[in-house]
Structures are given as C-alpha cells and as structure tokens.
Structure 1
Amino acid sequence: MKGFTILIVEDDTMIGGLLQKILQREGYEVRWKKDGAGIWNELRHIDLVIMDIMLPGEDGYQLTQKIKNAGLNIPVLFLSARQDIDSKLQGLTLGEDYLVKPFDPRELLLRMQKMLNHTYGTFMQINHLYIDAERKKVFNGGFHQEVMFTATERKIFFYLYEHRDRILTKDHFFDYLWPLEERNQNIINVHIKKVRAKIDDNEGSIIQNIYGEGYRLNTCTKK
C-alpha cells in the first residue's frame, strides 16, 4: 500500500532483490540492508521490518530484541529458512509474525497488510492524504507526516470526511460546531482556508467550494 515504508534486512542478494521488486510493485517504499549495522538511522522512517534471522554480525533475533528494547513500535516479520518449531516460537515471541522460505508472495503481502492494519489502523487514501477515521488522524504524503490540526480544524475536516462527496452548507457547520453562537459566515471560510493550507489543498480540489451552496470533500479529485 502506497505510503508505508518497509525495511528489508536480508543478506541474500537474490532474495533481497526479489522482495524489493515485489514490494515496490505493490506501491511500498522499500529500503534494503544486508546486515544490522546500518539500520538504526533508518528506523525512525520505517513502518514495518522484514527480518532474516541468519545475518552477518548480530542475527535477526538480536536486532529485533534491540528494536523492541528501544521502545520502537515497529512490527517485525521474520522471513527465514528455519522451519523448526523452536525457531518459529522464538520469532513469534520477539516479533509479530514468522514466514518460512520459500514463500508465496501473495501470502507475504497478506500477512504484511494485516500487520500494518493492526499497528496503524485502516486508512483511506484521498489523493496524497492518508486518513485514519478511527483515531481522527490525517497524514500528508506518508505515515511519518501527520497533519497537526487545531481541535476546531480537526472537527471541521472529519465533519467533511464523514459526509464526503456531499455538500455541507455553512449552517451545517454552525449547527455542528457553534449552535448557540452568532453566525459570522466568514469564520467558516477562515477555518476552511487553514485546513486546506495544512493538507496542501490550496487549489481546493479536495475541499471544494461549491459557489452559493457550501463545501464538499471530494474522494475523487482531478490531478
């Protein structure tokens, strides 16, 4: 899924290259390391790690333990030729999932998607935005770029989102946000302008001004 960044830690060039092609074809951003030495500067940008066990230097178990000890909430999927139950149990204890090589790419992708959904929630994509309606969060172009709304801006955005592809009049906004206050029509325009600026929608293709009627959040926009 576009927007997620995956780190592959795999010393086998053929397997690492295959994984990279599979994931890039699915729209993931991919980073690949052949051992654990260079991963620490990468981790703050990573959403999921695909970890081999047999690696030069520290093995995959040791690296995963360090990731968890550092308090990083990054799911780890072990991808290993080891098929014995002890290896599987250790992997499932340290990480979130374990898949044996050789693997079917469809199974890998499904396991990854379930792990990402469990960790980050289910997102809807609108243009460059990723929207987590359950947690009321919006990400701009990637999951490390959360849009920092004020409380009012967040309410306005998700009010539009909950009624997406429908026109909301200014009276709708007043009834929802300020039912007992004097209705200064310009205040809605000001807040919408601020929301648009924060989601890089200055042209109003996502939050569209329907002249004489109100505003509409479009799920399909022209690029």
Structure 2
Amino acid sequence: MKEYNILVVEDDVMIGDLLQKILQREGYHVCWKSDGKEVLDIIHKMDLVIMDVMLPGDDGYQMTKKIKKLGLNIPIIFLSARNDMESKLQGLTIGEDYMSKPFDPRELLLRIKKMLENQYGTFTQIRHLSIDAELRRVFSESLHNEVAFTAIERKIFFYLYENRDRILTKDHFFEYLWPLEDRNQNIVNVHMKKIRTKINDNSGEILQNIYGEGYRLNTYKKK
C-alpha cells in the first residue's frame, strides 16, 4: 500500500489533534500546521491537503491559490465551520472538495480515500518505488518524483514487473524486445544499468543480476 503524506492546516488544536490521530490510525503520514507560514516550503512533499478556511494570516482560500500557482497537482479538501452556500461554492471552485464542521470522521476518511485513488490510481509499493501498472508509471520516494524512463526502459521495467520474483534470461528480453535483430549481449546490461540508476537501485536490491542466469525484479528485501 502506498504510504500517502497528508498535510493538515488547522489552527484549532482539538480538531488538529483529532485529524492527526484518525489519519495516522488509517496509515497515513500526517504533517499538521496551525497556519500557512511553512506550507509552501513543504507542500511538494505532500499528496493531499486538508485545509481550514479561517486561519491566522492568509486564509485557506489564499493559501490554496498560492499552492495552485506552484503548478503542483495536489488535491485540497476544505474543512470549515462556514456552511453557507457561497463559502462552499468558493471552496469547490478553488479546491477539490469542501466539508463543513462538525464532520463525521468516517465520511472524511472515505472522501480522502476516493480522492487519492482518483488522483494517483492504485499503486503497488516496492520499497521506495510506487508502481502504477495500469498507467505504466513509476514514482520514486514521492508521487511528485516520477521516474523518467525512455520508451525502451519502460518496456523493460514493466516486463520485469509483470514477471516479478522470476528470473528472466537475456534470451527472454531479446525475444520480447528485439526478436528480429542481431543479439548484442551487452545491450541488456546497458539498459539495466540505466534503469537501476533512475530508480536509485545501484546496489541491485530491487533489480537483481543473478550471475550466469539473468535478471529478477524483487518484491522482497534481500537478507
């Protein structure tokens, strides 16, 4: 399961503490700020924001506009004591969702879950890599750090992923990728080295070279 980072911006201590506890209990990593002073410094590490509207300094609407200007596609849920229609419409225009206080934690958790799935898809986690097999995308460390594979590197990685924990020989790769070409035995090694560098796996913990046999993508950690 992908371990998502959620930023809570809430100046009410009781509500902030409650949000932190219920989110952590669900397995989320939570960063709680009582105002917007440090938000822009850490926002690039976050996957979702729960934003109060009435904050000291910049209000939640102003903070959200600043976040959106950075070009980061991070979903923002407003959680506010304002329950008039104008406030809701403004929040839904600027952010992605709006809930009024008091709120039911079960509803909030469900909205968060649906929003994360819609935004990021369903991922397989292999140590520091988040893998979206459907969209054939790989993220390293954070969902804002996508691995920039070339077309051939992406084919190789997902061929390994589809056969994870199995050894694939060089003949497997040639038959899959270059069936009609002369077999330059070094070309597979070259691509593997580039992929390892891009996924920060220079030690071969994830993409392992099995001497004399081939390569294997490990979903478990070597002892």
Tell me the TM-score range normalised by the shorter chain: 0.7 to 0.9
Q: Which runs of 5 or more structure 2 residues have no equivalent in the other structure?
A: none
Instruction: Report how many aligned residue pairs link the two structures.
Output: 223
Higher alpha-carbon deviation: 205-214 or 89-98: 205-214
Amino acid at match of 1:39: V
Paired residue for 2:57? 57
Cα deviation, residue 96, structure 1: 0.9
Higher alpha-carbon deviation: 157-166 or 190-199: 190-199
Paired residue for 2:131? 131
Alpha-carbon RMSD: 2.6
Amino acid at match of 1:20: Q
Question: Does the 8 Å CA contact 2:128/2:140 hold for their aligned counterparts?
Answer: yes
Higher alpha-carbon deviation: 126-135 or 209-218: 209-218
Question: Does the 8 Å CA contact 1:157/1:195 hold for their aligned counterparts?
Answer: yes
Q: Secondary structure at the match of 1:50?
A: strand
Q: Secondary structure at the match of 1:106?
A: helix
CA distance in 2, matches of 1:174, 1:11: 59
Q: Which runs of 5 or more structure 1 residues have no equivalent in the other structure?
A: none
Q: Secondary structure at the match of 1:54?
A: coil
CA distance in 2, matches of 1:51, 1:184: 55
Cα deviation, residue 193, structure 1: 3.2
| 1:110 correspondence with 2:110 | yes
Q: Secondary structure at the match of 1:40?
A: helix
Mapping 1:1-223, distance limit 5 Å: 2-210=2-210, 212-222=212-222
Amino acid at match of 2:129: L
CA distance in 1, matches of 2:189, 2:163: 18
Higher alpha-carbon deviation: 208-217 or 153-162: 208-217
Higher alpha-carbon deviation: 136-145 or 48-57: 136-145
Deviations along 1:54-74, one digit per CA (max 9) or x if unpaired, are: 212332223223333454322
CA distance in 2, matches of 1:180, 1:5: 46
Question: Does the 8 Å CA contact 1:160/1:217 hold for their aligned counterparts?
Answer: yes
CA distance in 1, matches of 2:168, 2:98: 47
| Identity across matched positions, percent | 71
Cα deviation, residue 14, structure 1: 1.5
Calculate the TM-score normalised by the size of structure 1.
0.84
